[in-house]
Structure formats: C-alpha cells, structure tokens
Chains A and B, each alone.
Chain A
C-alpha cells in the first residue's frame, strides 16, 4: 500500500490489485457513518481509493499505513439481478475472442458472479469485475459514435451497462431494460461500489 498526496486536502491510496482496492473502499466506506472519518468524496477506482476533503491527510496516511490491510469484507447478501437479452452486435466477435459459441458466451456471462468494483464514466455506470482473465477482451478498434442505453458491454477486465446513450468503444454483448440511473429514484444508481450483480438471461439464448 502506498499513499500519494493530492493537492492540499486529498489522498490517493494505491494498492496492488483490484480486490485490495475493493476491500479498502468497503472498509473506508463504513467509517463516515460511524463517525470515524470525515471526507467529502471517497472514490474507488481500478487500483486506488481517493479520499478528497480530509482535515489532515498526512495523519490519515500514517494511521492507514500503520494499520494492517483490512480483510476483504463479506459479500453483501443482496444480489442485484439484471435481466439481459444476449443480442449485442459484438457477440460474434466476443465468441471468437473467447473461442466458444455465442450461446456459450451468454451462458458463461450469466453464470458469473460480478461485483461493482467502482463507478465512473457516467452516473450509474459500474465497472463490474468477476470474469476470469482469459475472458478479458480489448476495446473495439473503432469506437461507436452512439451506443444505446441498456447495452451490456465488455472491455478489459470489466463488464458494464451503459446507463444512457453515449459514444463508446466497449464490445456490446447484450441489452437490458433495467434502469441503471434514475435521479428521481432513491437510490438513483442501481449499482454502487461493492454491490453483487448477476445477469439473468431473458428470451432465447
């Protein structure tokens, strides 16, 4: 674990792997409610957790590095289920990359237990980990100028669902009717860091 100061009042904690970042974020995220941490933003990412708006970043860094890395927390019992039709335009390309049939892509994806490692890119967009390394795929060489909302996509180690129409370079394998982001709903985001996620196939696979 390494801590990097960011500006006057933020700290970037860098760890060695994604699982460690998820565990650290999970541990830190429960502290504000217990009055153990005052922070404006707590932002997990691929290998880091950012703490923005700390009173005393140096003291926090010293305490954090002195304590042992917290153990991975138990998985939350509630699983967010996202219904998906495996009908994406990049399904054949992904099947070729995985060296399996399109039906097998759908089966493998739908039987994987995912976790929201972090969010970003757009409100409600979660970076979901869980696919084994052999199923990680590159981005498309040419990004699409318009990806429809609800597109279920793969890029690198992550699965994600586009919350709204946007340009994008991820490989599209399916479509969901689930509403990833609705600011009139509480909570607005269907997926938040640490949540467990499963994709449930609907229609013909």
Chain B
C-alpha cells in the first residue's frame, strides 16, 4: 500500500484531471482534451518540479480541498484564489509544502474560472490512449472528482522551483480573440460577417470544456440547408442554428455539421478558458500566418 496518494475532501463544482491531452486520435472520434489553460498547467508543474506534461487538477470556479497522505509540494495557479494549509494562509502561484495528512484548501476564484493544482509527482491515474485527461464529451479518462475520491500520485522527480511568486496573466476583463476567417464564412451574409467582427458578445453561462458559448447578435446565414459533417479544429468558431458563435475548446467534437465562420488563434484560447460568464468577447479578424 503506497502512501503516495491524495484524498479529495471537497471536489468542488467540477474538478478534473488534465494533462496535455490525447491528440492524434481525431480520426477515431476521440477529442484531444487536455488542460484548457495549458500554459498555466505547465507553469504550476514547473513550480513543483514536474515535467510539463504531468497531470494536474483543473478546478472550476469554486476550487477544491485535498489531503495528501504523504508530504508533497503543491502549486496553485490560473484563476486567482485563496490557498490555505490546515487553515493557515499559503502562497498562490508559488510552491507550497503540504505535510502528510494536512488539508490543502483551494478557494473560490476571485477572478477567472479555472484553477490549476500541481502536486509533486503528478496525478498518476492510469492513462487512456497516452493521456490522463478527463474528456467530458466522450467520457474517456478518469471521471470528474467526487468527495472521497483517492488519487494515486507519481514519484517526484526534479526539485521544485525557487521562486516567490511566478507571474501569471490576469483573467481577462474583456476577452479579445484573434480569428482567422473561414473555412465557411461564405455561409453567412456579408452583414453577419461584419457583425461577427465588430460587435461585442458576452460569455454565456452555458460554456464548458467543449466550447465557449456566447450571447449576442445572431449571425444570419447566407444559405439554408445543412453542411455535411466535416473535421473540426481547436478554436473553430462554429455557428449553430441559433446564430450565436461557439468557440471550440479542448473537449470539442472531432467532426461537426454546423458552419465554421473562423478559427481563433491557439495563443488566445488560454484566456478564453479564464473568461467568466458575462465577460465581453470581441472577435478581431487577422490574416493567417
């Protein structure tokens, strides 16, 4: 019986295990999955001395509480929040030592949406197709955490980083998404294309790991009928029949039948992961590289 384990005391609204996902299987209908705010997942891993691809926990809005069975180093990043160990305030965005049996509490997000908790050694659940990520669309990987879940931990490798606080981008007050138009922009009227790139949308509370949904002006189609299913990429802005753009995030379906008006630059997607419901969203057209 190993004591390299982590007991989940309070799972929070939605806490999942995430790493860099499982790209390369889309032709079998398998989404890529992986941490939505990938740079932050890599950062917190670095803070505890893990390789960037180690599995971390991704929390949603209200954090989680964890009790490691052996002493570990943790780092909490992403959406800013309070951190405490056995009730004593601890650092956010920096390595924190948690003694065996102590209670680590990751508080509710002050701003932003998703928190990332790295634990030295990484979360060591059994990988599925090379990844430990929970995929909420297809159900691959470990189930979302529930109170009482016990997660195995890997063996710690490197030394944790010697930093006080690592700089992290602030969750966006306004989400500006650079978008390369196409491939199906011609399915929309010229007016709809202008509306898409000039008006302000807001992040809908129906957003999830599959897509960032929006509220705002309806994009009118230039043609009726349905597109045949075609392959979808990360960041694709699909427009379902209700006319409101949806930005595909990590758990997006591999194929889809609604027209894609444009594709958001990959570098802008981590901010999308941190945009809380109600945040204004603007789509800025850019030339492709």
Contact = CB atoms under 8 A, between A and B. Distances in A.
A42 B255 CA distance: 12
Contacts of A43: 26-27, 231-232, 254-255
Interface in A22-70: 29, 40-50, 52-53
Q: What is the predominant secondary structure among interface residues of chain B facing chain A? A: loop
B182 interface: yes
Given A7-B235, A7-B288, A45-B228, A121 B29 contact: yes
A10 interface: yes
A183 interface: yes
Interface of A: 4-10, 12, 29, 40-50, 52-53, 118-125, 127, 164, 183, 188-189, 192-193
Given A7-B263, A42-B27, A122 B229 contact: no
Contact of B183 (A4, A164, A193): A4
Given A125-B29, A183-B140, A192-B28, A120 B288 contact: no
Contacts of B183: 4-6, 12
Interface in B253-289: 253-255, 260, 263-266, 288-289
Interface string B54-93: 0000000000000000000000000000000000000000
Contact of A47 (B30, B230, B232, B288): B230
B24 interface: yes
Contacts of B255: 43, 45, 118, 120-121
A122 B139 CA distance: 9
A40 B32 CA distance: 11
Contacts of B260: 6
A36 B54 CA distance: 31
B176 interface: no
A4 B182 contact: yes
Contacts of B28: 119, 123-124, 188-189, 192
B159 interface: no
Contacts of B233: 6-7, 10, 41, 50, 52
Contacts of B158: none
A122 B138 contact: yes
A82 B25 CA distance: 23
A183 B129 contact: yes
Contact of A45 (B24, B230, B263): B230
A118 B27 contact: yes
Contacts of B39: none
A127 to B, nearest CB: 8
13 contacts: A4-B183, A6-B233, A7-B236, A7-B288, A41-B24, A41-B26, A45-B228, A50-B26, A50-B231, A50-B232, A53-B23, A123-B29, A192-B28
A45 B288 contact: no
B229 A40 contact: no
Given A41-B254, A123-B28, 14 more contacts: A6-B263, A7-B180, A7-B236, A12-B183, A41-B231, A45-B255, A47-B228, A48-B228, A48-B231, A50-B26, A118-B255, A119-B28, A119-B29, A123-B29
B230 A5 contact: no
Nearest to B287: A8
A12 B231 CA distance: 8
Contacts of A9: 289
B182 A6 contact: yes
Q: Which 5 residue pairs are nearest across A and B when measured between Cβ atoms? A: A50-B231, A7-B263, A43-B231, A120-B255, A46-B228
